[in-house]
Amino acid sequence: MHRSHRLTALALATMTTSILLHSAEPGVVAPGAKVEKLAGDFQFTEGPTADAAGNVFFTDQPNDRIMKWSVDGKLTTFLQPAGRANGMCFDRQGQLIACADEKNELWSIDTSGKATVLLAGYQDKRLNGPNDVWIRPDGAMYFTDPFYKRPWWQHSEMPQDGQHVYFFVPSTKKLVRVVDTLKQPNGIIGTADGKTLFVADIGDRKTYRFDIQPDGSLTHKKLFCELGSDGMTIDSEGNLYLTGRGVSVFDPTGRKIDQIEVPESWTANVCFGGADRKTLFITASKGLYSVRIRFKGQDPAK
């Protein structure tokens, strides 16, 4: 064989081996695990988040209620009415932080269901509609504020001058707009070490990563992947789970490594829960679903 032909054959063999190895890489779903429907007959599910014990709380927003799926598989209503809660996240004190869409507020809800309004506006104007929230290790919060016209609102115009991302410190009431360059920010999640923030621009079908600074500002904006997301979560390996059409999973470099199909028209949000935090809970339109994952969710902020 001519030398150039041998080199070509070697290159093709190497490429084929690489493709085979890539296709043989295991995804994130546990061996033999399937997506399971846990409950249905909701109007639109959102905002899943797990408490310290692994119980999962999620919202049925049009029905104005927060539901609880316990670690022993029981479904109950935690709070109704619930301020039209959307995205939610537990803080280190066990308080449930909720994006309360009814009056465009940010709430803190204690274990008895008593709600306290943390935030109601920015620069003397109503917020557009806090959508998703993440709490960094020191208790400060980042939240997205897109504008989706709700049937329960009296106003029809966007209160703010755009759809942005905010940083809020509950202890001092400090509120700062930290991202104003996105079309329609929606899903948001940070790493447990408090150093990296991911924000999905669902309106532009992109997800970005930022470096978090101690003062709350964000630097080094970088495109993570060419896909937007309604909600997000992260596993212990640093893989990012995006939602929309099923669940799309990306490794820490932004390479897609798995696609979890869900039998609903839209997948709104995801979180890890259960006693061992290795179950992915999926809120998808009218149903609550779960699937076992090879990895557990990232450790909660401490």
pLDDT at 24: 52
Is 105 strand, coil or helix? strand
pLDDT tens for residues 225-258? 999 999 999 999 999 999 999 999 999 999 999 9
Q: With 0-12 CB in 10 A as exposed, 13-18 as middle and 19+ as buried, what is 44?
A: middle
Length of the chain as a residue count: 302
Let me know if domain 35-292 sits in CATH 2.120.10.30: yes
Q: Of 245, 249, 251, whose CA–CA distance to 268 is shortest?
A: 245
pLDDT tens for residues 259-283? 999 999 999 999 999 999 999 999 9
pLDDT tens for residues 135-145? 999 999 999 99
Q: Which residues of the chain have pLDDT under 50?
A: 1-23, 302
Q: Omega before 300 cis (within 30°)?
A: no
Q: Which residues pair with 258 in a beta bridge?
A: 249
How far from chain centre, in Å, is Cα 300? 14
| pTM, entire model | 0.91
pLDDT at 19: 37
Residue 45: phi and psi, rounded to 5, are -90, 145
pLDDT at 155: 84
pLDDT at 58: 98
What is the longest distance spanned by two Cα atoms in the chain?
A: 79
pLDDT at 10: 43
